[in-house]
Chain A
Amino acid sequence: MVFSRLFFIYIFLPLCLLCYAVARGTKAKNTVLIIFSLVFYAWGEPVYIFLMLITAVVNYTAGLLIGKYQGQKGDTAATVSAVVYDLLMLGVFKYSGFIVENINALFSSSIPVPNIRLPIGISFYTFQTISYIIDCHWEKVKPQKSFKNFLLFLTLFPQLVAGPIVRYSTIEKEIEERTITLSDVSYGLNRVALGLGKKVLLANQLSIIADSFLGNIGSSTMLGAWYGVIAYGLQIYFDFSGYSDIAIGLGRVFGFHFDENFKHPFICKDITEFWQRWHISLSTFFRDYVLYIPIFGKRRKYGGLFLVWLCTGIWHGASWNFIIWGLYYGIFIFIEMKIGKKNMKKIPVVIRHIYSKFVIFVGFGIFYFEKLDKLGTFFKTAFGFGKNGFIAVQDKISLMNNMYLVIVAVICCFPIISSIKKVSDKHFVTKATVTSAAAIASALILIVTSVMLVDATTNPFLYFRF
């Protein structure tokens, strides 16, 4: 089930909130959350839910063993087995097709390509279990003794299928004891409305532009290619950060405080900063668990760096363009490291902004085109070697037709809400006014989003039937 559909917002969620409100005490509330989370997951994955449950049992048991044999051989054995199990599951279910295809291509063999459907959310929950196991091993957290609590950590539906990758340490205490304040709940609900608005009102509309210009790259002009890729980058940002907003907001309604996953990434001044603001839970995961793996000996600083970016690329999808995309970022971060922080700061801010936005949006081009020949066409078109010239009438019409949408989307990339809050929080009257306005705005966004979602099942079928 996805968040941005009427059935979730108006049937699943109200029922869940009602049961949660009625349940007394943290234990009862946890039971409600686990039941709803399992229903949520089983809604889309009635079979693979067992895979997730097995993963839960394996990692829970490994956690207990790590706790029991702390610092002994059993500890290491349990850690290694659990991590290997997790990576194996991810490998089988996400990458086996890709691996076999490439082996076949490389050795002209004809191993049958396994046709395995990717279980929803496996990339996210596998990383959660890995971080749990390693944190237990490093004694950063105490292994969870109760299977029920462990299951809650893993299956908590707000973050189950699309992140953020919530670490056990983040909600360790709140699983067992949490207080829910009125401001938590109101904040959470507003955040959910905001996230839905980002997804439905901005991302979904931007996707139409992106698809018509990038999807049709063979007939796009140079301007069209840039327009399409900028719309696509904005689409991905509002889609993904909107989803994180909903997750964080729902978490807050239930009394959990998840970490922020996006911090206005497009205001960054260099690529290093971009990744400190974009999908933070993923980049910190790689930083904490992959970067310092001592397999590169003395050269680990750079070896680790490229390993991280290779992993980041592959994590996004089993396809070569994602690998290229990851390494592409690795190269720019490597260059920025070589230049050094101090020297980077000497470069005029305007140039740093232009440089970083250029790299990021070209990156989105790599991200979009899974077929490498299409990616080639994109590069040719975007850099003036396409066959359709610089600008054509379709670019002008689309730009005009979507003018306000694009302007609003660009404005929403800036930290407006936090700036308003920062100013208004200084005085009680402004704070009360802004808080009240936020309530009304949230309700309005929710209503408009819902109205728009009625149209979502309209199938504007894209191929005329004559």
Chain B
Amino acid sequence: MSENKKNTSSEKDTKKDAEKNTARPEPVISIAASDRENTEIDIPVKSKKLRRERRKKTLNAIALSNIILVGTVLAGGFAYMTMLPHETKADDENRMLTKFPKFTAKTYANGQFTEGIADFFDDTVHNRADIKEFIADNLMPLKGRKYGNGDDGAELYGSGFEKKKALSVTTTSKPEIIVTTETTAVQATTEPATEEPAPAEGELTNNILIVNKRGITLYGGGWGTEYEYASYLNEYKEKLGNVNVYSMVLPTSSSFYLPDNYKDLAHSEKEDFDNINGALQNVMSVDAYSALNAHKDEAIYSRTDHHWQPLGAYYAAQIFALTAGVPFADLSEYETVTLPGYVGTLYMYTQSATLLNNPEDFVYYKPKTPVTVTQYDTRFQNPVVANLLFDPSGMPNSGYYMVFGSDERIVHVNTECKNGRTLVIFKDSYGNALLPMLTSSFENIYLCDIRYFELNAIDFIRDVGATDLLFSMCSFSAVGVNRNSIYNNLIR
């Protein structure tokens, strides 16, 4: 019946199909067709007829079981998705999960309401984190094998330049912060960020190599943008005159932990740093690369996170203090805190079982000398008293942002070092870890994130009476889209 129906559309169709697929019936039709055959062909022999009927019954029973089986999966899924509690937070991704959308005429008309409902159900599946671990541990390894042997085995992750909607990772701040400060800045951080602009071709690969149980963000090279970075800093120096301006571009793990046979995967950060240093005019360059390179055998970079470890920040801060001619406190003057079992952002990017199953220690240092910390929003308004570091103990997830707080704020630290020096730091998230390390070096420190700063940078620097200005961001930020913020803050 169905075959006839199929072909009524066009006679030519039938002929051609007959020519092309002579003997091979589609699997589709064969069950139904054979069923019908059984009903239609009438064989007089009784036993044969009985057998046929029995067979038909068996096939129908199988079909019914099939329907029940798949139906049970569907019904089970329905119950799972509607009756079990929805998750609200993804600790492994550091983000709040999608909330049920609010109905308005506008959100309905543009489809955000209906799609929002579907997103809500898809995003908040009960036990989401466990299911994701199951995928990372058991399903993703089925795709293939690691390249190389054993511990050296390499996995490569990345998706070229495809533009996708980015959700905010950086941000689920410690709940206590929200309670104590109630600033809009911190609140704002839990909202999904808008789409990130795609970097120009050739800038960054955004690929991650996992090798020796370490995730490495592969540096793609500036290909000229490093000169733009340098020229922006030169403009700051020109406008600021007496203020000391420093550039400390921070290398990433790409410089130190890429085995020789994978060196081709990344561009040399050192080369771009040299280009920058050659182009700086009256801006003092701070050689963090050499300082870190000397200690690369220590845990100065996270294996599972795209940031460095606070120990790396200590060595960078040391060389900066030396360059700036300010005192610097030895590590022994800090209290060491170790957070075991840390699995950072690179697991989130890659969902690699290798990282998940090889957590590391996150070690940070608390200054013993007291400091006064005031936190402002990104327009330098609404001051609130804050802590220099947050206590992540008792939190389900620990790590970089949990200790150092979010980026969307300006932090002022007043120290007991009464040397009259005031430092403004323009930084990306790498710079957060520098702050505690400089609390014995400057009387006042203003920590500002280059991306979220909303004032004219020159006015701000003059208003706070800065004697020193430090640009400290990692290579990806300095040559990538974040470099534009340096310029935008200048002309705002």
A454-B131, A465-B166 as given contacts; A11 in contact with B264, CB under 8 Å: no
- Among A213, A401, A439, the residue within 8 A (CB) of B62 is A439
In-complex Cβ contact of A17 among B55, B74, B264 (8 A): B74
Given A288-B10, A392-B264, does the pair A458, B93 have CB atoms closer than 8 Å? yes
Binds B, one of A320-328, A343-351, A415-423: A415-423
A220 to chain B: closest CB distance in Å? 9
Given A182-B60, A425-B34, A465-B166, A11-B78 contact (CB < 8 Å): yes
Chain A stretch 157-196: residues in CB contact (< 8 A) with chain B: 167, 169-170, 173-174, 181-187, 189-191, 193
B353 is an interface residue with CB less than 8 A from chain A: no
Interface residues of A in 262-297 (CB under 8 A from B): 263, 273, 276, 284, 287-288
Which residues 382-402 in A have Cβ within 8 Å of B in the complex? 392-394, 396-402
A465 touches B207 (CB 8 A): no
Determine the chain A residues whose CB is within 8 A of the CB of B128 once the complex forms: 454
Interface residues of B (CB under 8 A from A): 2, 5-6, 8-10, 12-13, 16, 20-21, 24-28, 30-32, 34-35, 55, 58-60, 62-67, 69-75, 77-78, 80-82, 90, 93, 98, 108-111, 114-115, 117-119, 121-123, 125, 128, 131-132, 134-135, 139, 142-147, 154-156, 158-170, 193, 196, 198-199, 201-202, 204-207, 209, 217, 220, 261-262, 264-265, 306-307, 348-351, 428-430, 473-474, 476-477, 481-482
- A405 touches B (CB below 8 Å): yes
Residue of A nearest to B450 (CB): A466
- Residue numbers of A with Cβ under 8 A of B are 1, 5-11, 13-15, 17, 42-47, 140, 167, 169-170, 173-174, 181-187, 189-191, 193, 205, 208, 211-216, 218-219, 248, 252, 257, 259-260, 263, 273, 276, 284, 287-288, 392-394, 396-406, 415, 417-418, 421-422, 425, 428, 431-432, 435-436, 438-440, 442-443, 446-448, 450-466
Q: Among the listed A15, A169, A455, which residue makes an inter-chain contact with B9, where contact means beta carbons less than 8 Å apart? A: A169
Q: How far is the CA of A219 from the CA of B143 in the complex (A)?
A: 24
Given the complex of chains A and B, what is the CA–CA distance between A454 and B2 in angstroms? 37
Can you give 6 A-B contacts (C-beta < 8 A)?
A15-B78, A257-B5, A393-B264, A452-B135, A462-B164, A463-B166
Other A-B pairs, 14, CB within 8 Å; known A14-B77, A397-B156: A14-B75, A15-B78, A46-B108, A182-B60, A182-B63, A212-B158, A257-B6, A287-B12, A394-B156, A397-B147, A415-B24, A421-B30, A457-B122, A464-B349
- Chain A: CB-nearest residue to B170: A465
Please report the C-alpha to C-alpha distance between residue A1 and residue B149 in the assembled complex, in whole angstroms.
44
| In contact, B159 and A215 (Cβ under 8 angstroms) | yes
In the complex, are the beta carbons of B59 and A435 less than 8 A apart?
A: yes
Judge whether B428 and A466 touch: CB under 8 Å: yes
**B206 / chain A contacts, CB cutoff of 8 Å:** 462-464
Contact residues in B for A417 (Cβ distance below 8 Å) = 27
- Give bound CA distance, A230 to B1, whole Å: 39
| Contacting pair B60 A183 (CB below 8 A) | yes
Shortest Cβ-Cβ A-B pairs, 5 listed: A215-B160, A10-B77, A439-B66, A186-B66, A461-B166
- Docked complex Cα distance between A260 and B26 (Å): 9
Known: A284-B10, A400-B144. A9 touches B162 (CB 8 A): no
**Which residues of A have CB within 8 Å of B34?**
425, 431
A453→B165 CA distance, assembly (Å): 17
CB neighbours of B67 from chain A (8 A): 182, 185-186, 189
Q: With both chains docked as a complex, state the minimum distance between the C-beta of B309 and any C-beta of chain A, in angstroms.
A: 15
Complexed CA–CA distance, A174 and B482 (Å): 60
Q: How far is the CA of A11 from the CA of B121 in the complex (A)?
A: 9
Residue on B with the closest CB to A44?
B111
User: Closest chain B residue to A173 by CB distance?
Assistant: B5
Q: What is the chain A residue whose CB lies nearest that of B144?
A: A403
CB <8 Å contact, A259 and B6: yes
**Contacting pair A464 B77 (CB below 8 A):** no
Interface contact B132-A455, CB-CB below 8 Å: yes
Determine if A11 and B261 form an interchain contact, defined as CB atoms under 8 angstroms apart: no
In the complex, which residue of chain A has the Cβ closest to the Cβ of B262? A393
Contacts of B121 in A (CB 8 A): 6-7, 11
Question: With A263-B21, A463-B199 in contact, do A401 and B65 touch (Cβ < 8 Å)?
Answer: no
In the assembly, what is the distance between CA of A214 and CA of B170, in Å? Answer: 29
- By a CB distance below 8 angstroms, the chain B residues around A10 are 74, 77-78, 80-81
A5/B118 contact (C-beta < 8 A), A417-B27, A465-B166 known:
yes
Q: Tell me whether A446 and B27 are in contact in the complex, defined as CB-CB below 8 angstroms, given that A47-B109, A404-B144, A458-B93 are known contacts.
A: no
Chain A residue numbers with a CB within 8 Å of B6 are 170, 257, 259
Question: Cβ of B20 and Cβ of A276 under 8 Å apart?
Answer: yes
> Once the chains bind, are A190 and B158 in contact (CB under 8 Å)?
no
* Residues in chain A near residue B144, CB distance under 8 A: 399-406
* Cross-interface CB contact of A212 among B5, B35, B111, B159, cutoff 8 Å: B159
- The contact of B13 among A47, A284, A443, A448, by CB within 8 Å, is A284
* A432 close to B59 (CB less than 8 A): yes
Name the one of A187, A215, A425, A448 contacting B161, with C-beta atoms under 8 angstroms: A215
Q: How far is the CB of A40 from chain B (nearest CB, A)?
A: 10
- Cβ of A218 and Cβ of B77 under 8 Å apart? no
Q: Is the CB of A466 within 8 A of B122?
A: no
**Are B170 and A183 interface neighbours, CB within 8 A?**
no
Minimum CB–CB distance for A238 against chain B, Å: 15
